[in-house]
Amino acid sequence: MIDAEVTRLIKKILVGIDTSEHSRNAQAYAFYFARIFNASLIGLHVVDIVSIEGSFFHDISGSLGLEPYLDFSSKMREVLTARGREVLDEFAAAARRENLAVETVLDMGIVANQICDRARSSDLVMIGHRGVNEKFSTGLLGSTAESVARKSPRQLFISPRRFREVKRPVLAYDGSERASRAMRSAAEVASSLGVPITVITCARDPKLGERTLAEARTYFENYTPKAEFKLLLGHANEEIVKFLKAHEADLLFIGAYGHSRIIEMVLGSTTEFVLRNSPCPVFLAR
């Protein structure tokens, strides 16, 4: 039975939709979570204005002294808009076949910005690890996903290429305020799914790590199934990813940021490293 607190936690799920494989799996996870929480879905497709009015075409048309660029831009906008409607119609039809409440939105602009703007009217945002331009991006995390991860005002679920039912969730807990929010979400989701969750804390000082784990043990006392607790020693970013692989985890809960934004800008963050290297979906709490 689903805890009433959880149903209040996730009632509306915003899903970023495009034609990529990662997006299709984000859709699969969205349907999965919507069924569990009796949530409604909002499918969002953004016509990327950068694809229409990018600097490349401006530079080419300007250097050649051509005016027809404006006509090209208009036609490209029409094509991409029509394709966006098709993608959203397919999403809505699939959701209705699953008897899920669904609505769709077609926006135009910078993809990450539009997703974050629309996120304000939802409880959870779900996007693919990479989008349709994945072949042209660098690293293991698409630029749109990275931008949304940094700016989204709501909880964020980043989906990998392959869908798996959630049976071995993991919470990375470091005692910070955002980690505490991740702990709340993790406890409620795991309880609703009826699966045990493993709570990991990484520390260089074992005594400090045990104190942090003790906080988590206290929090999980009244939740079922019972949680498991593991202390990892070493660098948090590397140890978390190593544990996820060894444990064959299928979902990681983590706070959006574990340090101050200034430290993060200079040194990077554990969250960013994990997002780039996690073998499973990541649920970012805010």
Give me the percent of the chain exceeding a pLDDT of 70.
81
Domain 169-285, classified CATH 3.10.50.40, yes or no: no
pLDDT tens readout for residues 48-96: 987 766 544 444 444 444 454 455 578 888 888 999 999 999 999 999 9
pLDDT tens readout for residues 90-138: 999 999 999 999 999 999 999 999 999 999 999 999 999 865 554 434 4
Prediction pTM value:
0.85
pLDDT reported for residue 60:
44
Stronger pLDDT, 53 or 35, i.e. the higher one: 35
Q: Is the pLDDT of residue 158 over 50?
A: yes
pLDDT tens readout for residues 36-51: 999 999 999 999 987 7
Using alpha carbons, list the distances in angstroms from residue 138 to 131, 141, 151, 192, 282: 12, 8, 20, 37, 19
pLDDT reported for residue 238:
93
pLDDT tens readout for residues 214-253: 999 999 999 999 999 999 999 999 999 999 999 999 999 9
Q: Give me the DSSP letters along 86-120.
A: HHHHHHHHHHHHTT--EEEEEEEE-HHHHHHHHHT
Cβ contact 151:273 at 8 Å = no
Domain boundaries, the chain: 4-159, 169-285
CATH class of 4-159: alpha beta
Q: How confident is the model at residue 273 (pLDDT cuts 50, 70, 90)?
A: confident
